[in-house]
Each structure stands twice: as C-alpha cells, then as structure tokens.
Structure 1
Amino acid sequence: MSDQARRTWEYATIPLLTHNTKAILDSWGVDGWELVTVVPGPGGGDQLVAYLKRPNS
C-alpha cells in the first residue's frame, strides 16, 4: 500500500459568511486545510457550512 493510501485526515466544519467567503477560506488554507464541499446551513437562508480536511500530522 502506498503512503498516499495510508494517509489519515483531520476534518473541520466551519460556518461561512456569504459576504466574506474568500477571506475565511483563504485563512484556513494558509493553515493547510483543503476545501471538500460547501452546503447550506441547517438554518437555511444565506448561511453556508464548509467542510475541510488536512493530513494528520
């Protein structure tokens, strides 16, 4: 099995403000987080939730 196949991941779920999405994602990206998906928040409306992952250290 390759090193890539054995990699373990750490996950985070964060709320996104629609007027500041790029800045929020950029700040998490600097810390090594990769965006997996964005879905509507549980409250509906303009609320979004981002799911991110990064390799476990």
Structure 2
Amino acid sequence: MTTWEYATVPLIVHATKQILDQWGEDGWELVQVLSGPENNLVAYLKRPKEN
C-alpha cells in the first residue's frame, strides 16, 4: 500500500509556474490550489513516501 507525504506551498502569482515546476521536479504532484488567508493562493501537493 502506498503511503503519502503532503506539503502546502504558498504561491506567488507572478511565479506560480516556476514554483510548481520546481516542486514537480522534486517528485511532488499538485492535488489542489485554494485561496488561503488574505486571498493568497496555496498549493496542496503529495508524493509517495520513501520507506
């Protein structure tokens, strides 16, 4: 059974692609983007946990 680790990442509007590309290169998969405090965007990511 796969176990997961999760991360929440604040997104800067003018650098969203670069931020997500960097996390993707590190093996993270984007799950969802929601509005956080003060209408800032927050990305929720997951990747398989290394056992």
TM-score (norm 2): 0.94
State the identity %: 66
Runs of 4+ in 1 over 3 A off after TM superposition: none
Give unpaired runs (5+ residues) of structure 1: 1-5
Task: Give the match for residue 56 of structure 1.
Answer: 49
Please give the alpha-carbon distance, in whole angstroms, between the structure 2 residues aligned to 1:38 and 1:16: 9
Task: Give the match for residue 3 of structure 1.
Answer: none
* Alignment counterpart, residue 28 of structure 1, candidates 23, 37, 40: 23
Of Structure 1 and Structure 2, the greater helix share is in: 2
Give unpaired runs (5+ residues) of structure 2: none
TM-score (norm 1): 0.84
CA RMSD of aligned residues (A): 0.5
Aligned residues: 50
Of Structure 1 and Structure 2, the greater strand share is in: 2
